[in-house]
Structure 1
Amino acid sequence: MQFRGQILKMSSYNAEPIQYYLNLSGDLIHMNELLGKTLSIKHDGYQCVHCGHDRQIYRMGFCKSCFFESPYASDTIIRPELSTAHLGIGERDLDVEMKIQLQPHTVYLAYTGDVKVGVTRNSQIPTRWIDQGATFALPIARTENRYEAGMIEVALKNHLADKTNWRKMLQDDFEDEIDLADFQQKIREYFPDDFQKFYSEGEEMWKFDYPYSKPEKVASFTLDKNPEFTGRLIGIKGQYLAFEGGNFMNVRGHEGYVIELEIS
């Protein structure tokens, strides 16, 4: 079986275990069904997720020019505290930024090998947590826009990590329940005074089950350095495909790459 297309991040469905679908130019390939099968991946060019041109991907699936011009790659995507749409001030495209920023957001704690704090649009729950490979996640604040959530995150990340350590996430095999509610209580004092009204207590904690077992070793590869790869798929966690021998491919890190995929 063969496919060819532009990689987009895997879609997921929260089940037991989580169901994953690789998106190749709109063709959805059910990856859970491929566990135990051998995949041959060949890098065959690029297709920017914004302009669609065959230009080398710079970051987040964008070519270099689109990364610095597209509102979908603006600084507020990474740093929500920089949002200004609530003030009617645009960074790159106010109409687009209003759609992204002026909607309900959640500040959360997640366990991804360590406890971390993060921000997501409500519409991205639980996808955001699955993409990060979180074992547990707990909402701790509900805000009306992206700026408010970002300001809470800024205050809390002085005391908690705000990024996922991918190695710890992939090497972690923690199965007992992490008491994220206890972490929430401990950091409540660090909420900015003006944002205490967004604090949310008694939220349901989410737990996720991945089609994955902890490997003996973890080594990631990229198609830039290894344009042709063949391996037996043995697990999936976050946006990582786990191959026999401890080789991992970050699918989201390859958005915009065009590949030929052969399954045997």
Structure 2
Amino acid sequence: MNYQGVLKKMKTEYLDEIQYFLDMQSDFLHVNQLLNSEISISFVKYQCLQCELEKPIFRQGFCKSCFFETPNAGDWIMKPELSKAHLGIEDRDLAYEKSVQLQPHIVYLANSSNVKVGVTRKQQVPTRWIDQGAHEAIEIVEVPNRYLAGITEVALKAHVADKTNWRKMLQNDCKDEDLVVWRDQLKKYIPDEVLPYFIENNQETQIHFPVLKYPEKPKSLSLEKEKTFSGKLVGIKGQYLIFEDETVFNIRANEGLVVAIEF
């Protein structure tokens, strides 16, 4: 079968084993069904996720001009502590920024390659954890806006990691941690204004990914450089496709590429 469409991060469904879906414009491709199958992925062209023009992708699926103009790529996206909508201060589009920033946010701990702290909108739990390839996660605080979540993350990342080692995550090179203990140990570093939002009594969320074989030495596929790739799909974790020859393809990092998929 043949599918063609612009890459966007895979949609997921939280079940006993995570289910993955690719939106290929005319249809949804249930990626789990392709496990143990030979598939081919070919680069066709670029298509910016914002303007939809055929322009080289700069970052996050956007062409260069859109990246510096769209409110979807403001600095506060990657650095929540820069959020200002709660003050009525516009970055690029105040209405959009209010719609995103002024809603409940979660500061969490997730364990993928190591225990890390992160921020996400409440409605993105557990999707955010799945996208990061975390096999366990727990909420620390639930706050009413992105700014409070951001300053909490800044305070905590002085004492715990805030990045994932993608190679270790794909190798499944991580040990189980007691995230309840981590949560309680980190409480003393939470800013005073956020302490009332601390979550006292909750448990870890466990996440299981559809992986038949983990790579020992994962090597990243650059589809823009290679143009086409074929291999047997043996796993899906985070936003990565894992192939039998240990090639891995990061769907999220390749948003904005139009691809053809055959199987």
- Taking structure 1 as the reference length, what is the TM-score of the superposition? 0.96
Structure 1 residue aligned with 2:240: 240
Q: Percent identity between the aligned chains?
A: 49
| Mapped pair 1:5 → 2:5 | yes
What whole-Å deviation, never above 9, does each CA across 1:117-162 have from its counterpart, x for those lacking one?
Answer: 0000011011100000000000000100000000100000111111
Q: Determine if contact 1:7/1:25 at 8 Å carries over to the other structure.
A: no
SS in 1 for 2:58: strand
Structure 2 residue aligned with 1:182: 181
CA distance in structure 2 between the partners assigned to 1:26 and 1:14 by the alignment: 24
Q: Determine if contact 2:214/2:235 at 8 Å carries over to the other structure.
A: no
What whole-Å deviation, never above 9, does each CA across 1:146-197 have from its counterpart, x for those lacking one?
Answer: 00000100000111111211111111255x7420011112111111122211
Structure 2 residue aligned with 1:164: 164
Q: Kindly report which structure 2 residues correspond to 1:48-197, keeping only aligned pairs within 5 A, or say none.
A: 48-172=48-172, 174=174, 177-197=176-196
Structure 1 residue aligned with 2:23: 23
**Could you say what the CA RMSD is over the residues aligned between the two structures, in angstroms?**
1.1
What whole-Å deviation, never above 9, does each CA across 1:55-105 have from its counterpart, x for those lacking one?
Answer: 011111010111110000110110000000000011000000000100000
- Taking structure 2 as the reference length, what is the TM-score of the superposition? 0.97
CA distance in structure 2 between the partners assigned to 1:111 and 1:253 by the alignment: 21
Name which of structure 1's ranges 149-158 and 193-202 shifts more when overlaid on structure 2.
193-202
* Deviation >6 Å, runs of 4+: none
CA distance in structure 1 between the partners assigned to 2:192 and 2:41 by the alignment: 51
Q: Determine if contact 2:180/2:203 at 8 Å carries over to the other structure.
A: no
Q: Determine if contact 1:240/1:250 at 8 Å carries over to the other structure.
A: yes
CA distance in structure 2 between the partners assigned to 1:36 and 1:191 by the alignment: 45
SS in 2 for 1:140: strand
**More strand, by proportion:** 1
SS in 2 for 1:17: coil
Q: Unaligned stretches of 5+ in structure 1?
A: none
CA distance in structure 1 between the partners assigned to 2:214 and 2:47 by the alignment: 33
Aligned residues: 262
Q: Determine if contact 2:242/2:248 at 8 Å carries over to the other structure.
A: yes
CA distance in structure 2 between the partners assigned to 1:79 and 1:101 by the alignment: 12
